[in-house]
Every structure is written in structure tokens, then in C-alpha cells.
């Protein structure tokens, strides 16, 4: 089914994007920068904000999924993630780091949950359901491998500008997200 394929494509692309910002966020932020007024390391503060946002999102996620649907919530989280990475090219400074870092926590929570719930709901057969969930879980090492292969050469190509690498990943992610959104929409319209 095309919907299952798009779910897997989003799983891989989501993990590529998440691995990208997980591995290179602190490089983009830079070392020795402090949060004004508090004095915390900016790297720490932004990642702490991301973690807190992920926990907060996880607590409201069941209601959001019930109200909006798991697929729209997943697509929205992916779009927000793409926007955050794109903004790293133009919005800098401590408040940008805190805001963008915090908002990326939404993707962390939604991407860890919704693909599994969507995959489980798509299949009635328990053995096939287990297979689909296993395949969805396999998307993480694929993302890690891709980022491991391309990050160094890309960041080097951009003379160390991590935000340019973020923009490349965000652009590719947006392309896949657009196709997935069309496939999910067509499937929804055909089923109703």
C-alpha cells in the first residue's frame, strides 16, 4: 500500500532529520555562549528546553491525536521541524537557539510515537502488525547511517556552516513530506 510506503519514507526522513539536529545542534549553537541573565551554557539550555518540550508534548499527544488524527499531527510535527531547521540560516542569537531548540522537542515526541500508532492501526493481522512496527523501528539506524555518510562532506562543502547543512536536510525533508502529504490525502479521500 502506498500509505505504508509513505509512512516508512517519513520514518526514514524523520530519523535523518532528527539525527542531523541531534548530532550537530551544539556545533551550530557554538561553545562558550551563555544564556543572558541566567548564565547557563546556551547548548545546555536549548537541549534542556528540547527535552522539556518533548515531555510536555508527550503528555498532550494522546488528546491531540484523538482530536486531529495521528497522521495530521505527524505531518504537522514534520513541517514544524523543517521550519525550525530552515530558520537556523537566518535567525540566530540566544532566543532563536532556545525557541528553535525547544520546538524541535515536539518532533522528538511525535515522531517517536505516531508512526507506530499509525502502522499498528493500518493492519488487522497481528503478525503483519508486528512486521510493520519492526520495519518502522528499523528506520532509525538507516537515518543514523545516512547522516554519518553525508554530514561530514556536506558541512565541509559549506565551509563549516552547519545551518547550510540543516537547510539541505530541511529541503529534502520538505520534498518527501509534500509527497507523503499528497499520498495520505488521496488515500483519505478515496476511503471516504
Concatenating the DSSP letter of every residue in 79-94 gives HHHHHHHHHTTT--SH
State the pLDDT confidence band at 119, using cuts at 50, 70 and 90: confident
What pTM does this model have?
0.92
Residue (of 58, 68, 70, 67) closest to 7 by Cα position:
70
pLDDT at position 36? 82
pLDDT at residue 124, as a whole number? 77
| Residue 108 confidence (pLDDT) above 90 | yes
d(CA 85, CA 82): 5
Tell me which residue has cell 547522516: 147
Cα separation of 104 and 78, whole Å? Answer: 10
pLDDT interval class at 50 (50, 70, 90): very high
Enter the DSSP assignment of 34: B
| Of 75 and 32, more confident | 75
Amino acid at each position: 500500500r502506498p500509505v505504508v510506503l509513505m509512512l516508512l519514507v517519513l520514518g526514514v526522513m524523520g530519523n535523518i532529520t532528527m539525527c542531523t539536529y541531534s548530532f550537530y545542534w551544539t556545533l551550530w549553537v557554538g561553545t562558550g555562549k551563555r544564556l543572558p541573565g541566567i548564565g547557563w551554557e546556551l547548548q545546555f539550555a536549548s537541549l534542556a528546553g528540547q527535552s522539556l518540550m518533548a515531555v510536555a508534548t508527550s503528555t498532550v499527544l494522546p488528546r491531540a491525536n484523538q482530536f486531529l488524527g495521528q497522521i495530521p499531527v505527524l505531518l504537522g510535527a514534520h513541517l514544524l521541524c523543517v521550519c525550525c531547521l530552515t530558520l537556523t540560516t537566518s535567525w540566530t542569537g540566544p532566543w532563536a537557539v532556545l525557541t528553535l531548540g525547544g520546538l524541535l522537542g515536539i518532533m522528538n515526541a511525535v515522531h517517536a510515537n505516531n508512526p507506530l500508532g499509525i502502522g499498528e492501526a493500518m493492519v488487522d493481522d497481528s503478525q503483519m502488525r508486528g512486521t510493520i512496527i519492526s520495519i518502522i523501528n528499523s528506520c532509525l539506524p538507516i537515518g543514523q547511517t545516512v547522516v554519518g555518510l553525508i554530514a561530514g562532506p556536506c558541512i565541509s562543502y559549506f565551509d563549516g556552516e552547519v545551518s547550510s547543512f540543516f537547510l539541505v536536510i530541511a529541503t529534502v525533508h520538505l520534498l518527501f513530506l509534500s509527497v507523503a502529504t499528497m499520498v495520505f490525502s488521496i488515500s483519505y479521500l478515496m476511503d471516504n
